[in-house]
Structure 1
């Protein structure tokens, strides 16, 4: 019986990179796109995707996804970001399933939300905090998830692959030396695993930093839980 493997990761936090890395295993079958965007379920899953009170028809969704997965592969891979607020429901409907939880520095995350979604700094900062809170809850309530950060992935891809394979031995032959097509602050291109945090944080203005710090300071314990430091207003900011 195959294992359903869900990458729980906020948008613009490295989910595509991790998803494509996992898909280098010959034992993994990845959906052709994020599951939420497949035509059979897009109208369902993109209806208020970040509303927690939105119940999803998971049996219908699973049946649709299974027409796209290679069911002969031992690992079936999915990574739609809104899944992170519905992980417990997913666990009830996909058996057996495993979860990989990943987060990113909230300053870098907020920059991506502002640039890619044209969000205000306040909206982006609050969303980044919501994701950190939700992911922390996931670490506590899910059954033995693998917990990692974007930073650990890009700083030592080899060690990250070793952790992934120890977590799920079926994920053999992961190729962290490959080039991956991902979107970054430098645009979309084929490139090796690369850390873009410094560029993203440098793109924040002093005003962005001040607004983010007004949000992050009361939540500094949450940042610390994930190993992230509260940053002084001008540290890394654009002049």
Structure 2
């Protein structure tokens, strides 16, 4: 295959109408932090849509979801992103005339959020984060064979995950400031799902059409109302692992406090 053909595979260029653009709502979020439930609640509005089943448009472009997707220096074909996402929206729009908002929540977006959002005429942001201990436990068990890892290996994996949480949380904090993005943590959202309604800066009437009491389907869990899973996740950490994570976090207490979190002992 020619280099042009390979590039087309990575960065498709479907046709789109530049004059037909929705409002893009970008959720700035780390992975495993409740963004699926958040997006599902927002998507209960008849005027919203997601680009693909997980709500992560990165998976529509092979070039965007490669292994280096967290690299802030990644070379991205933004015209391809614009074409692919608008094409997906416009296909739905032809069938459902009242769609006004596209919800986009690919976590690596945060590394290039300014460039990405600038491709679209109308957009807004909502920032999200989750307690680091719960995030570490969730990623440990979702992405690794945690029950079959040695104690040392589990701590090695947790070290990497905790470092990711710190780096990404600093990035989220920066974007909250530079983009004037409202923050709705996982914990606050679970405590009061309806709080999202007043935080959105979307076209008139969209927020009011959201059902905050709807059931959500997250990963392989049964469909259920929004609920805080932090305690259950953290309870999976064993043998000094909470203390290990705390040791990694203790030099970043101001960051923890910014998001409303604290060290556990």
Given the two structures, how large is their TM-score scaled by the length of structure 1? Answer: 0.88
Structure 1 gaps of 5+ residues are 233-239
For 2:197 and 2:40, the matched residues in 1 are separated by 16
The count of residues paired between Structure 1 and Structure 2 equals: 224
**Once superposed, which parts of structure 1, at least 4 consecutive aligned residues long, lie more than 4 Å away?**
none
Give deviations 1:69-107, integer Å, cap 9, x for gaps: 234522111111111121111232222111111000111
Question: Which residue in the other structure is 1:140 paired with?
Answer: 177
For 1:208 and 1:198, the matched residues in 2 are separated by 15
Which of residues 26, 45, 57 is equivalent to 1:6?
A: 26
Question: Which residue in the other structure is 2:114 paired with?
Answer: 88
Residue 257 of structure 2 corresponds to residue 220 of structure 1? no
Question: Which residue in the other structure is 1:181 paired with?
Answer: 217
Query: How much does 1:145 deviate?
Result: 1.7
Question: Which residue in the other structure is 2:4 paired with?
Answer: none
Give deviations 1:11-45, integer Å, cap 9, x for gaps: 1001111111111111112112321112xx12433
Query: How much does 1:126 deviate?
Result: 0.5
Question: Which residue in the other structure is 1:131 paired with?
Answer: 168
Tell me the SS of whatever aligns to 1:86: helix
Query: How much does 1:55 deviate?
Result: 2.5
CA contact (8 A) 2:197 2:208 kept: no
CA contact (8 A) 2:22 2:122 kept: yes
For 1:44 and 1:163, the matched residues in 2 are separated by 32
Which protein has the bigger strand share? Answer: 1
Residue 143 of structure 2 corresponds to residue 117 of structure 1? yes
Which of residues 173, 186, 189 is equivalent to 1:150?
A: 186
Question: Which residue in the other structure is 2:77 paired with?
Answer: 57
CA contact (8 A) 1:161 1:174 kept: no
Residue 53 of structure 2 corresponds to residue 17 of structure 1? no
Which of residues 46, 49, 64 is equivalent to 1:26?
A: 46
Question: Which residue in the other structure is 2:125 paired with?
Answer: 99
Residue 230 of structure 2 corresponds to residue 204 of structure 1? no
Residue 211 of structure 2 corresponds to residue 163 of structure 1? no
Given the two structures, how large is their TM-score scaled by the length of structure 2? Answer: 0.79
Question: Which residue in the other structure is 1:237 paired with?
Answer: none
For 2:235 and 2:198, the matched residues in 1 are separated by 30
Give deviations 1:175-202, integer Å, cap 9, x for gaps: 122111103xxx5221111110111111
Query: How much does 1:215 deviate?
Result: 0.6
Question: Which residue in the other structure is 1:235 paired with?
Answer: none
CA contact (8 A) 2:63 2:76 kept: no
Tell me the SS of whatever aligns to 2:164: helix
For 2:127 and 2:75, the matched residues in 1 are separated by 22
Structure 2 gaps of 5+ residues are 1-20, 145-153
